[in-house]
């Protein structure tokens, strides 16, 4: 016998007469609008143990979803489980709304469920993962070429707190690649310009400005409480300092760098995985000479390239926070934008690394400017 399919108006009439109406959609879907008086039970939960919510198999029950497909399948599962009087609402909540029937909405959580609805549909994220992102704290060094796309997408993804460290001001030459900033904010501190842009995108992300040059004296204050660090620095002294601090504190470091038409990214997590995962010093025991690695102001950079690498960094950060996928730990991803070719190099931990070798105590912070100058 086929499942009875009823229009929303008939479902409302029966509901008012005492028939149970069950909304089998996910919680984020129900929060955006649900039939008034409906009992919310996710389809998978209902099918796994229907008697927990519907102990009487002889009592009539109606099921509703978004458009009618899921409720019909759930009704078939209930019929197979011995429920004799099951109906599915045709057109689901969409038709219920269109016909002007009474709806309820979770106003307190509406922004959360609407804003992150595409994340919530992913089983690998779902509501539990989105709540983890909401509680996360990321320290970002650099609100420039790499920090701009990374911060934009992390804020959009719902990361709760972004700590942005940069002591520079917005300059017109930045606008070719540093998309957090605008013509109108030239001369504004980059961290303030970034805060304006990110709050306009997602007011629920807290942006903490750190308008200071990163040094050994303040780096641990920047990293305090951070779940991970994104390296968007444009100089070697800060990169080595960040690496050493992250090893000491056991904080993952999401690395990125660009030069002309080439970029690279990796995850350095030696602080939590001594002897297994490398740190930045394992890859670069010593900095290259200055003439071999000029900065963007000297060598130039294709404007879109930092966007490409910064998005890789944001992706790695989200994976680390959610505990999903395979991070770039122990792997260096390199991209050549001119040929649009990606290459991956395996990285091993250096057993003699002066900072992350197993059992080696933290050697202390050094004069990184002198170290990188060959002093």
| Residue 184 buriedness (CB in 10 A; 0-12 / 13-18 / 19+) | exposed
* Sign (positive or negative) of CA dihedral 235, 238, 242, 243: positive
d(CA 58, CA 341): 63
342: Cβ contacts below 8 Å, ≥ 6 apart:
333, 334, 335
Q: Are strands 253-259 and 262-268 parallel, antiparallel or unpaired?
A: antiparallel
d(CA 293, CA 316): 25
d(CA 127, CA 122): 9
269: Cβ contacts below 8 Å, ≥ 6 apart:
252, 253, 277, 327, 329
Closest by Cα among 287, 292, 285 to 372 = 287
Active site residues: 296
Number of helices (H) and strands (E) in the chain: give both, helices first: 16, 15
Q: Which two tokens stand for residue 140?
A: 């970002």
- The residue whose two tokens read 């009823």 is 6
Q: Which two tokens stand for residue 34?
A: 């649900």
């Amino acid at each position: 016998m086929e499942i009875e399919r009823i229009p929303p108006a008939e479902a409302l009439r029966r509901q008012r007469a005492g028939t149970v109406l069950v909304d089998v959609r996910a919680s984020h879907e129900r929060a955006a609008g649900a039939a008034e008086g409906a009992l919310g039970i996710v389809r998978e939960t209902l099918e796994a143990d229907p008697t927990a919510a519907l102990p009487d198999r002889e009592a009539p029950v109606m099921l509703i979803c978004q458009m009618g497909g899921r409720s019909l399948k759930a009704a078939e599962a209930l019929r197979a489980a011995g429920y004799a009087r099951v109906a599915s609402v045709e057109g689901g909540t969409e038709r219920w709304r269109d016909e002007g029937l009474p709806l309820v909405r979770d106003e307190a959580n509406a922004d959360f469920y609407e804003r992150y609805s595409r994340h919530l549909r992913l089983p690998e994220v779902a509501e539990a993962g989105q709540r983890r992102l909401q509680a996360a704290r990321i320290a970002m060094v650099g609100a420039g070429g790499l920090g701009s796309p990374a911060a934009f997408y992390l804020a959009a993804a719902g990361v709760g707190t972004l700590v942005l460290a940069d002591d520079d001001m917005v300059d017109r030459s930045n606008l070719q690649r540093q998309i957090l900033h605008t013509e109108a904010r030239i001369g504004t501190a980059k961290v303030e310009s970034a805060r304006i842009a990110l709050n306009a995108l997602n007011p629920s992300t807290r942006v903490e400005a750190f308008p200071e040059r990163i040094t050994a004296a303040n780096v641990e204050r920047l990293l305090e409480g951070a779940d991970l660090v994104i390296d968007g620095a444009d100089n070697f002294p800060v990169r080595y300092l960040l690496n050493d601090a992250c090893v000491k504190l056991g904080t993952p470091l999401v690395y990125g760098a660009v030069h002309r038409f080439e970029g690279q990214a990796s995850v350095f997590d030696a602080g939590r995985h001594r002897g297994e995962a490398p740190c930045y010093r394992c890859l670069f025991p010593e900095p290259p000479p200055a003439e071999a690695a000029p900065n963007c102001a000297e060598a130039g950079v294709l404007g879109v390239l930092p966007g490409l690498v910064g998005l890789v960094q944001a992706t790695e950060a989200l994976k680390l926070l959610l505990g999903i996928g395979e991070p770039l730990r122990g792997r260096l991803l390199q991209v050549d934008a001119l040929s649009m070719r990606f290459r991956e190099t395996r990285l091993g931990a250096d057993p003699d690394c002066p900072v992350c070798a197993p059992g080696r105590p933290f050697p202390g912070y050094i004069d990184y400017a002198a170290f990188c100058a060959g002093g």
